[in-house]
Amino acid sequence: MSQILKELRYTKTHEWVRIDGDIATVGITDFAQEQLSDIVYVDLGSIGKKVKQGDAFGTIEAVKAVSDLYAPVSGEIISINDDLKTTPDLVNKEPYGKGWMVKIKISDQAELGNLLDAKGYEELIGKTTH
């Protein structure tokens, strides 16, 4: 059973978001990393890039598949997890911890309403897996 953390928000595209004031830390969920299996490369774009909610901000490459990473909120990318350049498997090992990907400075708090809570996300992946 995939781990879902209560305090986080989620997207339908399997990103998680930790909100801290106007900063959103973003990663992919435990469920997503399980589905992708061995992650070999993560491309997170560059600091300073402006993204819109739902836009692809990077790509994640596993042995068997490549997926886009979608921005859960609009804003500016202010920080990138550089450790993933050399150790992308952190996403497999600690998807909610050291496997975080980017921090986005939120430009529109109202958009947070579009995100799923833990319960909503649990329902979503319940549907996906059944």
Partner 1 sequence: MPFTPHTTEDKKAMLKAIGVASFRELLNTIPESVQFKGKLNLPKPISELEVKRLLTRIASNNRSLTEYISFLGGGAYDHYIPSVINHIISRSEFYTAYTPYQAEVSQGTLQAIYEYQSLICELFAMDVSNASMYDGASALAEACHMARDLTSRNKILIAETIHPYYTKVVRTYTEGLKIPIQLVKSTDGIVDLNELEKLIDDSVAAVLIQHPNFFGVLEPVGELEKIVHKQGALLVACVDPISLGILTPPGEYNADIAVGEGQCLGLPSSLGGPFLGIFTCKKEFIRRMPGRLAARTTDTEGKTGYVLALQTREQHIRRGKATSNICTNEALCALAAAVYLSVMGKQGIKEVAKQCLAKSHYLASAISQIKGFGLAFSKPFFKEFVVKTPVPSAQIIQAALKKRILAGIDLANFDGFKPDWQSNQGGYLLIAVTEKRTRKEMDKLIRLLKTWEQ
* Residues at the contact surface with partner 1, assessed by CB under 8 A: 41, 43, 45, 49, 61, 65-66, 68
Q: Which residues, including other chains, have CB under 8 Å from residue 109's CB and lie 6 or more apart?
A: 22
- Provide the minimum distance between the beta carbon of 17 and partner 1 in the complex, in angstroms, as a whole number: 23
- Provide the minimum distance between the beta carbon of 61 and partner 1 in the complex, in angstroms, as a whole number: 6
Shorter beta-carbon distance to partner 1: residue 48 or 113? 48
- Provide the minimum distance between the beta carbon of 8 and partner 1 in the complex, in angstroms, as a whole number: 28
Rg (CA), the chain: 13
- Provide the minimum distance between the beta carbon of 13 and partner 1 in the complex, in angstroms, as a whole number: 15
Shorter beta-carbon distance to partner 1: residue 34 or 43? 43
Shorter beta-carbon distance to partner 1: residue 30 or 74? 74
Q: Residues 110-115: contacts with CB within 8 Å, 24+ apart?
A: 111/53, 111/73, 111/74, 112/9, 112/19, 112/73, 114/53, 115/9, 115/10, 115/11, 115/17, 115/72, 115/73
